[in-house]
Structure 1
Amino acid sequence: MVNIGLLGDISVGKTSILRLFVRYLKQGDIEKVKGGTKCSVVKADFSGEATVPGGEKEDALNEKETKTIHPNRIVFREDSTNKAHTIFAPGGDRARAVVKMGIITISRIATKIIAVFSLDRDLDPQFEFFNDVRFFPDKIYVCINKIDLVKGDKEKKLTEVKGKITEFFEARKIAITDTFITCGETIEGFADVETYNNQVAEMILEITTKN
């Protein structure tokens, strides 16, 4: 059994990544991606979400902007081996004591950590989040999310961001096992949406079924 901790600053897309993975499991798309295998949802708990009044998504497609207060969690099982795995996604608002406690707890109980970064925001405040995480393994995975929001040369942007992330963790003697580029939502009009949606499922399968 692998316990994954999805850690990252506010609004990097951790909850969206979880919800997308659940969709892949429930619709059977998990078998169609690279390294795919039949898996089933055991439990999906998004009760840690609280609606933000007047958030940016208010009234847009009847969606509501949410903030994660208590860690969200999904448990899924590999049908062929019956092995169960858990993915935890605590919130990113370190200023709230209850959220910070969730971050500390998950960072301690997770056997694998995925550090999630968003490409649509400056990296410095995102790095600050990880400066506050005291319990870190010596090897982690990195997820660079929201590739759909990059304007212009995506490869140039990714090279720059990957370099800064590697430098940040190397300075803390933390090695990056692998890096995944993702789009955690189904975005209309984004030509490569399926490729980067699939990367979410492939990332989680790679970490759980190969360990």
Structure 2
Amino acid sequence: MTNLGLLGAVSVGKTTILRLFVKYLKTKKISDVKGGKSCTVVKTDFSGEAVLDPETGVKETKTIHPNRVVFRENELKRNHTLFAPGGDRGRAVVRMGVITISRIAKQIIAVFDCSRPIKDQFQFFRDVRFFPKGIFVCFNKYDLVPEADREKTIENMKTEIVAFFAKRKITVKEFHIVCAESIDGMESFNDAAAEMILKIATNI
């Protein structure tokens, strides 16, 4: 069994990636992606989601307690748990969730929003003390970067991320680019999100 943690600052899309993975599991589409396997959802828990400011009419959610998905590899009968704690460092209960997940997770996926300044997102990771020696990095919201700037943006972010984690003697094993929303023309990146989680969780 693998415990896998998706960590990142507020609103980088951790829960969206997790929900997309559940969709692939429930529709059996997970068998069709690269490296796909027959898998079953055992349990999902998104009760940590809190809707904020309902009076404004703006749908804004914040993860208070870590969201969780348990799934089973049917052939090998192995269960894996995916956790996505919130990114609000100002809330003690959220901070405790991040600490707990960072300690129990065998694999960590650091999630970054391509459309936001990278240095602002580093602040979240400065407060996380426990990391495995090697981590995975996921660039989300790829669709929000102007098409002409995408390649340069990703390469610049890769350089800064490698340097940031190297200071803590943490290596980046792999980079993944995903778009966890159902947007026309971005279907391959939806597949990439599911492929990423399946590969990291099951290749133990």
The reply to whether TM is greater than 0.5 is: yes
| Match of residue 106, structure 1, among 95, 101, 111 | 101
Match of 2:92 in 1: 97
Distance 1:173 1:194 in 2: 35
Relative to structure 1, the CA distance from residue 56 to residue 88 in structure 2 (aligned partners, 3 Å threshold; closer, same or farther) is: farther
Cα deviation, residue 92, structure 1 = 0.1
Cα deviation, residue 52, structure 1 = 1.2
Distance 1:98 1:155 in 2: 37
CA offset digits 1:118-140 (Å, max 9, x no partner): 01111112101000001111111
Cα deviation, residue 145, structure 1 = 0.6
* SS of structure 1 residue aligned to 2:175: strand
Relative to structure 1, the CA distance from residue 172 to residue 57 in structure 2 (aligned partners, 3 Å threshold; closer, same or farther) is: farther
Match of 1:170 in 2: 166
* SS of structure 2 residue aligned to 1:114: strand
Residue 202, structure 1, aligned to residue 198, structure 2: no
What RMSD over aligned residues (CA atoms) do the two structures have, in Å? 1.3
What letter corresponds to residue 112 of structure 1 in structure 2? Answer: Q
Question: Matched residues, percent identical?
Answer: 58
Match of 1:61 in 2: none
Match of 1:7 in 2: 7
Aligned counterparts, 1:1-211, within 5 A: 1-54=1-54, 58=58, 64-151=59-146, 152-187=148-183, 189=184, 191=185, 193-211=186-204
What letter corresponds to residue 24 of structure 1 in structure 2? Answer: Y
Relative to structure 1, the CA distance from residue 26 to residue 204 in structure 2 (aligned partners, 3 Å threshold; closer, same or farther) is: same
Relative to structure 1, the CA distance from residue 167 to residue 43 in structure 2 (aligned partners, 3 Å threshold; closer, same or farther) is: same
What letter corresponds to residue 163 of structure 1 in structure 2? Answer: T
What letter corresponds to residue 48 of structure 1 in structure 2? Answer: G
Deviating above 3 A after TM superposition, structure 1's stretches of 4 or more consecutive aligned residues are 54-57
Relative to structure 1, the CA distance from residue 197 to residue 3 in structure 2 (aligned partners, 3 Å threshold; closer, same or farther) is: same
Contact 1:139 1:174 in 2 (8 A): yes
What letter corresponds to residue 69 of structure 1 in structure 2? Answer: I
Cα deviation, residue 54, structure 1 = 4.5
- List alignment gaps of at least 5 residues for structure 1: 59-63
- List alignment gaps of at least 5 residues for structure 2: none
Equivalences, count = 203
Distance 1:185 1:2 in 2: 26
Distance 1:35 1:118 in 2: 26
